[in-house]
Chains A and B, each alone.
Chain A
């Protein structure tokens, strides 16, 4: 406890600045990238997979739930032994979930990741040059 320079009270609330230092690459770089044709391509590539896939799995799942509610006779039809349509339909929901997840992973690493990598590099450059 010597007489050093008076310790400034821990960061005396800096003047009303942007609180989070999140805009490391400045915001004009983001705007420029967002308006580039390459970004439009990435956005389109993402949405053209995930939106139809979401609609598809939701419709397929809804069909299963609706059949469970309203088509009991059909769902109860036996296929082999005690295995009926309801069980097979349910197991197919597992299969479709695994398949969609796998297809998305493949699509993302082949199609989306390279586009995203290039654009990410450009944001970082854009922050320095322009």
Chain B
């Protein structure tokens, strides 16, 4: 265990060293605002496809999905499917049009033909909200994982730190590194970090998948059979329903809510992706819309392949490690993939040393994954704060490029510092709750505004403002009164009960609310459509004329 710990740290430091030197190199190539915000728009379709994948495949994807499959079987696969299908919304409706019409942020497109200040303010608020919740989830996850991955048990110390102190130290370290990547490297540096991370993550997942398949002689059916037997749930383990949409005998109301909750989760997963600001700004890093399209195609291929492998990782962990051994380490199951690595290493790479090596490799990959995603999120929120709020709301479009970039760097430090502090206080929050909230806000607040502004000529400023705030408030309020926050044993505040909303995921209500608010705000406002401005948006977004 001690050897594995040292090796994990060494490998992680190697990753940090490599990415930091690339970041410093990238900083020398960063001369103007386009370099800082959009990496000079010079990345190729494959590079950006890898970077998009790196930004998207968070700890929730890697550790979370493998964990849910390992503990609850088939239900975890729903996440893989939703997260992948979601990319069709981005491909068909958003990526190219956004790339053609925008410059640096999501709000560039929203505010194109509407009043700059109210729309950009609203967009900055929702961008920062989504990014911070997502960021907290990753940082809290990193803190929780470090004790487990480094094998620090309660009562033990590591470098003189108790497990609690080691968690805080990890959060601070991750936070400090992400600030450095963003402040120094801007979009260029961050993009290379994503590319390297995506490469490492794919290598790690492929290696484990192959070893799992070797263990079961490349027979999927016998892998599934072994997982089902070891889980103790039998064939129910291979069917939907162990975790989501549970049927509660004798309680028809609860059963009804559980099933609606499953539908709600499904909708939020598929509609959230195309409203995530840190994903949307990646489309600006390529020269034109056609390259943006190709990068989404690459991303769909890479992400799809990865999510297929979650089947092998999750069911492999269920069959070879077993639910009991996983929950003994971590109740949420987040260590299923690292423990699977240890077991596979013991089997195929030579005893406990092999186990330690593979555990260390996969743990380092998990840290790299978290680090890359938080850097992408910090960049998205600081870009929006600087470009949308500072340059266009406060300075009314009169800020110089230099000023904008300086403010963006300061904003990254500020947002990073705030996230570090929040993450330290939020350590006991449920990580899944934070991610679900981020996806729900993205789908309820951002997606309606984006789709309306691209496709609906009559859409007005009040429509956009209503859609964003309406979707944002609806999802936040519903989550606050949901069983995730209070009124249940697994809630954030288990001792309290102000819960009245029965669903854990607000999507099925809050997404329609967002669309409805955008429509109502539009039809109730008397503002006439600016036909010339809409013509410009439409022609530019469809043809790429005048694109940045």
Contact = CB atoms under 8 A, between A and B. Distances in A.
Given A72-B241, A93-B85, A83 B221 contact: yes
Chain A interface size, as a band, is 35 or more
Contact of A97 (B77, B85, B544): B85
A113 B100 CA distance: 13
Contacts of B263: 65-66, 69
B270 A61 contact: yes
A97 B542 contact: no
A123 B545 contact: yes
B222 A81 contact: yes
Nearest to B77: A90
Nearest to B226: A82
A24 interface: yes
A101 B266 contact: no
B535 A30 contact: yes
B459 interface: no
Most chain B CB neighbours (cut-off 10 Å) among A34, A62, A64, A83: A34
Interface in B210-251: 220-222, 224-225, 228, 235-236, 238-241, 244-245, 247
A72 B247 CA distance: 10
A66 B85 CA distance: 15
Interface in B279-326: 290, 293-294, 296-297, 300-301, 304, 307-308
Given A97-B84, A116-B544, A34 B221 contact: no
A68 B262 contact: yes
Interface string B141-157: 00000000000000000
B240 A68 contact: yes
Contacts of A86: 74, 238-240
A61 B546 CA distance: 37
> Chain A binding site: helix, strand, loop or mixed by DSSP?
helix
Nearest to B96: A108
B89 A25 contact: no
A43 interface: yes
A113 B290 contact: yes
A53 B93 CA distance: 10
Nearest to A124: B545
Contacts of B545: 25, 30, 33, 119-120, 123-124
A7 interface: no
Contact of A75 (B228, B240, B300): B240
B397 A20 contact: yes
B526 interface: no
B539 A119 contact: yes
B81 interface: yes
B259 interface: yes
Given A24-B546, A30-B539, A123-B539, A54 B84 contact: no
Interface string B448-479: 00000000000000000000000000000000
B304 A82 contact: no
A104 B78 contact: no
A22 to B, nearest CB: 7
A60 B88 CA distance: 12
A69 B538 contact: no
Contacts of A100: 88, 92
B535 A34 contact: yes
Nearest to B264: A65
Contacts of B267: 65
A80 B91 contact: no
B535 A31 contact: yes
Contacts of B37: none
B259 A108 contact: no
Contact of B536 (A30, A43, A97): A30
Given A27-B535, A30-B539, A123-B539, A57 B85 contact: yes
B536 A94 contact: no
Contacts of B241: 68, 72
Contacts of A31: 531-532, 535-536
A83 B220 contact: yes
A75 B296 CA distance: 31
B391 to A, nearest CB: 9
Contacts of B91: 101, 104
A1 interface: no
Given A68-B245, A81-B221, A101-B300, A58 B270 contact: yes
Most chain A CB neighbours (cut-off 10 Å) among B89, B220, B304, B542: B542
A124 B293 CA distance: 23
A83 B266 CA distance: 23
B81 A72 contact: no
Contacts of A13: 398
Contacts of B270: 58, 61
A87 B240 contact: no
Interface string A38-78: 01001100100110011001100110111011101001101
Most chain B CB neighbours (cut-off 10 Å) among A30, A50, A94: A30
Given A50-B93, A57-B88, A84 B221 contact: no
A116 B78 CA distance: 38
Pick the 4 closest A-B CB pairs, nearest first: A19-B397, A81-B221, A65-B266, A34-B535
9 contacts: A30-B540, A54-B89, A58-B270, A76-B238, A81-B225, A90-B80, A97-B85, A104-B92, A119-B542
